[in-house]
Amino acid sequence: MKKKAIAGLVLVVVLSLGLFLFFRGILIPVEAERIYFGDDSGFRSCPSSIKITSQYYENHSRYFVNFTISTNSSSSLEFSLEGVIEEHVCIPEGIVLYTYYPGDWAGINAALVDYSLNIVWKRHFQAFPVKYHNGELLLTSSCIYFVNASTGDLSREICPGVARAQVHDVKILGDETYFTVVHYSVFTMNSQVHIYRVKDGKREKALIVKMDEHLLGARAILDVSEEYVAVAYYLRGISGAEKNGLCVFKRNIFRKISCRELKADDRPLEVKLRGDVVYLQTTKGLEVHRILTLRHP
């Protein structure tokens, strides 16, 4: 009888584990070599033959940045954009230069200059450039804006449909767009992190984590592979409390299968998926986990 009882208990444990792995999964720490996380922004290195200098000035209580762009052939271009802080990125179509005021949610003033030093377009956007993908410049704020890089015109936009939202990261794989959003809900009186998937015009979302207070800082980064989606998050509330963690989804069914909390001072910096292994770079080092789950159709 004792052997039967033990055998029955083992069977129950095995079946329970099998069911858990079928519908969910676990993250198992493993040893692995360091990897290069890389840069998937789509921006390219600017040509070494082009030199960009800038000078800040004030005119009738308005502030501007004057750009001077020159080449080795001695040709040059000079123009100004309103703002205080200046940045630029290079894309196949040319150099995107933009200015903004610190802490200002009014967005940016931007211009595209081609590599022959011609101004192609000037625009004002309510968002900041984060990626270049298939001829489009992606800008984010409370929404994702897809801008035709050649014309500067808005092609389309994707919004999460919630107030007080901030898009933190975007990944595009095939015809699917994934993005993370941090927002404060006045209805539930808490801060929340969601992941969204947009495919064939259909928008889906899933809750990652929430915190019952306003936030002083937040980060929600993601990576997408053929089989999985990984989201790493950092939240710091006004009380000083922190939440850090990692969640993994099965991509085909867009279902959360496993999460792991990190220590309060172990903040995620980068995340990368390689097959069934997820690499997480934090402020304390590299963590590597293997995703253990049964295949789901």
pLDDT of residue 19: 39
- Answer yes or no: is pLDDT of 108 > 60: yes
State yes or no: pLDDT of 23 exceeds 60.
no
Predicted confidence at residue 189, as pLDDT, reads 87
Considering the chain, what is the average pLDDT of its residues?
90
pLDDT at 183: 94
Write out the DSSP string of the chain.
Answer: -HHHHHHHHHHHHHHHHHHHHHH--EEEE-----------S--BPPPTTEEEEEEEEEETTEEEEEEEEEETTS-EEEEEEESSEEEEEEETTEEEEEEE-TT-TT-EEEEEE-TTS-EEEEEEESSEEEEEETTEEEEESSSEEEEETTT--EEEEE--S-TTEEEEEEEEETTEEEEEEEEEETTTTEEEEEEEEEETTEEEEEEEEEESS-EEEEEEEEEE-SSEEEEEEEEEETTS-EEEEEEEEETTTTEEEEEEEE-TT--EEEEEEETTEEEEEETTEEEEEEEE-----
Q: State the pLDDT confidence band at 265, using cuts at 50, 70 and 90.
A: confident
Q: Is the pLDDT of residue 69 over 80?
A: yes
Q: Model pTM?
A: 0.87
pLDDT of 290 higher than 80: yes
Question: How does pLDDT run across 207-237, given as a tens digit for each residue?
Answer: 999 999 999 999 999 999 999 999 999 999 9
Predicted confidence band of residue 294 (pLDDT cuts 50, 70, 90): low
